[in-house]
Amino acid sequence: MEIGEKIAGEIVLSKKPGATMRKWREIFSISQQELAKYLGITSSVISDYESGRRKSPGVGMVKRFVKALIEIDESRGGEIIKKFSPTYGEEAIIDLFDFPYSVDVEKFMSQIEAKILNPDIEYKRGIYGFTILDSLKAILSFNSYDYFKVYGWSVDRALLFYGVKYGRSPMVAIRAHPLKPSAVVYINPEQVDPLAIKLAILEDIPLAETYLDVEEIKDRLRELF
């Protein structure tokens, strides 16, 4: 199964395999206790892997871990597996990339020279990836299902909007949609409407602006890993 290969590959290639295991366990909304029971081990073993106290898992453990995530999700109706349909090729999606583990908001913004416009909110969520969107194409062509696709393998990601004039429409769309990103960045906006900032504050989402070009942003964010 494609999702299983992706998860296993990320763990094996990750510099922090335990952190990547935790990422995927949380994506599937499975507790350490539930996963440990399914695997027939103690929850402290899962905790030790995720914290890095236990040495990197071998191939056998990775296979068991991935199989458990998928089978537990299938027993619940397979909602997580169904949600992760392919996202590349969508006209409005300029780029989509997933990180092997979480990046904090400040580090992410610093990497792309982004200024946070509502700095007083609390940054509660890490960033597990990013999606760069053509703002106008997204507004004109996306339906509700398409908005699910922009979140890739994790909802905890930054959405970066290119072609923004005032930034009101992207935040209105985010306000109306049940899925919320970890952060929103406007690329080269003409100006940012105060309403966009107000909506970001209401949603407790850091909103930022950067004046780097898209290709530079793509390169810099991949350099994080």
CATH code, domain with 32: 1.10.260.40
Q: Do the domain assignments include residue 197? A: yes
Q: Do the domain assignments include residue 88? A: no
Q: How much is the pLDDT for 1?
A: 53
At 114, give phi and psi (nearest 5°): -95, 140
Task: For residue 166, give every residue at least 6 positions away whose Cβ sits within 8 Å of its Cβ, in sequence order, or none.
Answer: 189, 190, 191, 192, 193, 196
Note down pLDDT in tens along the chain; length 225 residues: 578 888 999 999 999 999 999 999 999 999 999 999 999 999 999 999 999 999 889 999 999 999 999 999 989 888 788 666 454 336 788 999 999 999 999 999 999 999 999 999 988 899 999 999 998 877 766 665 666 778 877 889 999 999 999 999 999 989 988 889 999 999 999 999 999 999 999 999 999 999 999 999 999 999 988
Kindly state the tokens that stand for 75: 């027993």
Same-domain status, 42 and 144: no
Same-domain status, 120 and 194: yes
Q: Do the domain assignments include residue 87? A: no
d(CA 126, CA 136): 27
Same-domain status, 134 and 40: no
- Indicate the number of domains in the chain: 2
CATH code, domain with 194: 3.40.1390.20
d(CA 112, CA 118): 17
Rg over alpha carbons for the chain, rounded to the nearest Å, is 18
How is residue 55 annotated by DSSP?
Answer: P
Point out the domain boundary residue: 28, 61, 82.
82
Same-domain status, 78 and 102: no
Point out the domain boundary residue: 43, 61, 82.
82
Q: Exposed, middle or buried: residue 30 (CB in 10 Å: 0-12, 13-18, 19+)?
A: buried
Sign (positive/negative) of CA torsion 98, 100, 102, 105? negative
pLDDT, tens digit, 9 for 90 and up, residues 12-37: 999 999 999 999 999 999 999 999 99
Point out the domain boundary residue: 18, 50, 82.
82
Residue ranges making up the domain that contains 31 = 2-82
